[in-house]
Amino acid sequence: MKKSHPLVKKICVHTFLIFLAIVTITPFAYIVMIAFGKNIVGTSATIPKEFTLANFQRLFRETAFLDWIKNSLWIGLVTMIISVVFVSITVYAFSRLRFHGKQKLFQFILLVQVFPLTLSMVSIFRIFVTLGILNDIKGLIIVNSTLASAGLVLLAKGYFDTIPFEIDEAAMVDGASRLQTLIHVILPLAKPMLAVVAIQSFVIAYNEYVIASTVMTQGLDTMPLAVGLQSMITGQYGTNWSMYCAAALLGSLPMIVLFYSLQKYFIGGMTEGSVKL
CA-closest candidate to residue 240, choices 229, 232, 248, 250: 232
Mean pLDDT calculated for residue range 29-50:
74
| Cβ atoms of 242 and 37 closer than 8 Å | yes
pLDDT at 51: 82
Give the pLDDT band of residue 3 (cuts 50, 70, 90): low
CA-closest candidate to residue 224, choices 113, 119, 143: 143
pLDDT at 206: 92
Mean pLDDT calculated for residue range 256-260:
85
Q: How far apart are CA 253 and CA 128, in angstroms?
A: 31
pLDDT at 134: 84
Mean pLDDT calculated for residue range 62-79:
92
Mean pLDDT of the chain: 82
- Let me know how long the chain is: 277
All CATH 1.10.3720.10 domain ranges of the chain, comma separated, are 66-273
Give the pLDDT band of residue 267 (cuts 50, 70, 90): low
| Cβ atoms of 43 and 241 closer than 8 Å | yes
What 38-45 contacts at long range (C-beta under 8 Å, 24+ apart), as own/partner pairs, is: 40/241, 40/242, 41/241, 42/241, 43/241
Max Cα separation, the chain? 75
Q: Which amino acid is at 150?
A: A
Q: How far apart are CA 155 and CA 132, in angstroms?
A: 33
For the stretch 188-233, pLDDT in tens is 888 888 888 998 899 999 998 888 888 887 777 788 998 888 877 7
pLDDT at 274 over 50: no
pLDDT at 35: 84
Q: Is 66-273 in CATH node 3.30.43.10?
A: no
Give the pLDDT band of residue 43 (cuts 50, 70, 90): low
pLDDT at 127: 86
pLDDT at 37: 80
pLDDT at 268: 60
For the stretch 127-185, pLDDT in tens is 888 888 888 888 899 989 988 888 888 888 888 888 888 888 888 888 888 888 888 88
The full 3-state SS of the chain, as one line of letters, equals: CCCHHHHHHHHHHHHHHHHHHHHHHHHHHHHHHHHHECCCCCCCCCCCCCECCHHHHHHHHHCCHHHHHHHHHHHHHHHHHHHHHHHHHHHHHHHHCCCCCHHHHHHHHHHHHHCCHHHHHHHHHHHHHHHCCCCCHHHHHHHHHHHHHHHHHHHHHHHHCCCCHHHHHHHHHCCCCHHHHHHHHHHHHCHHHHHHHHHHHHHHHHHCCHHHHHHCCCCHHHCCHHHHHHHHHHCCCCCCHHHHHHHHHHHCHHHHHHHHHCHHHHHHHHHHHCCCC
Give the pLDDT band of residue 30 (cuts 50, 70, 90): confident
Give the pLDDT band of residue 273 (cuts 50, 70, 90): very low
